[in-house]
Structure 1
Amino acid sequence: MTDVRDRIDKFVLNELVLGDAARMPAPSDSLIETGVIDSTGILELIEFLESEFGVHVDDDETIPENLDGVDRLTAFVTRKLAA
């Protein structure tokens, strides 16, 4: 799980906040509410998850409970990898 979180953190830092560590949200923070991600960013995030981890994100899985925050993303990917 640590590897999953590290890879997600790296993506958020490099791609969503463009290397600005001061804008990096806490793991439990909403990426949407903190302004880190918008609808286009969510598509980029899904593409990252699918290519980086080899998982498929179904349309019905694109909900905040799965994708809105590093903690939630880590748990979602971990569940997908275990399935």
Structure 2
Amino acid sequence: MTLVLAPDRCKEQIRAFLTSNFYISDIAALNDDASLLDQGIIDSTGVLEVVGFIETTFGIAVDDNEILPENLDSIRGMARYIASKVNLAADT
């Protein structure tokens, strides 16, 4: 039986990481689809911190070609990316 990780299960861990490591003026207004780059929450260095968090917390390797806005620019994007990588690894 394959363990499947749903994206919603990752969101709170991602949100907790972001709020404890980056300045977010209104945590309640941090929408799952909001662009973290456009809002100035993370910058290029912050993206590297997010990659480190994902690799450490979820035990997956983020390849250089996967460091894309659709994977890392929003909470929802990160959650989908993490779930797909974890589930892919579980299938192998």
TM-score (norm 1): 0.90
Out of 73, 76, 79, which is 2:81 matched to?
76
Letter aligned with residue 12 of structure 1: L
**What are the ranges of 5 or more consecutive residues in structure 1 without an aligned counterpart?**
none
Contact 1:25 1:34 in 2 (8 A): no
CA–CA distance in structure 2, aligned partners of residues 10 and 34 of structure 1: 17
Letter aligned with residue 45 of structure 1: V
C-alpha RMSD of matched pairs (Å):
1.4
| 2:44 maps to 1:25 | no
Alignment of 1:1-83 (within 5 A): 1=6, 2-17=8-23, 20=24, 22-23=26-27, 25-83=30-88
Note the C-alpha offset of 1:33. 0.1
Which structure has more relative contact order (CA 8 Å, sep 6+)? It is 2
- Matched-pair identity in %: 32
CA–CA distance in structure 2, aligned partners of residues 52 and 16 of structure 1: 17
Note the C-alpha offset of 1:21. 5.7
Note the C-alpha offset of 1:16. 1.5
How far does the alpha carbon of each residue in 1:1-60 deviate from its partner, in whole angstroms, 9 at most, with x for none?
33311100100111122xx56155211000000000001100100000000000100000
Letter aligned with residue 53 of structure 1: F
* Worse overlay, 50-59 or 8-17: 8-17
TM-score (norm 2): 0.81
Equivalent residues, number = 81
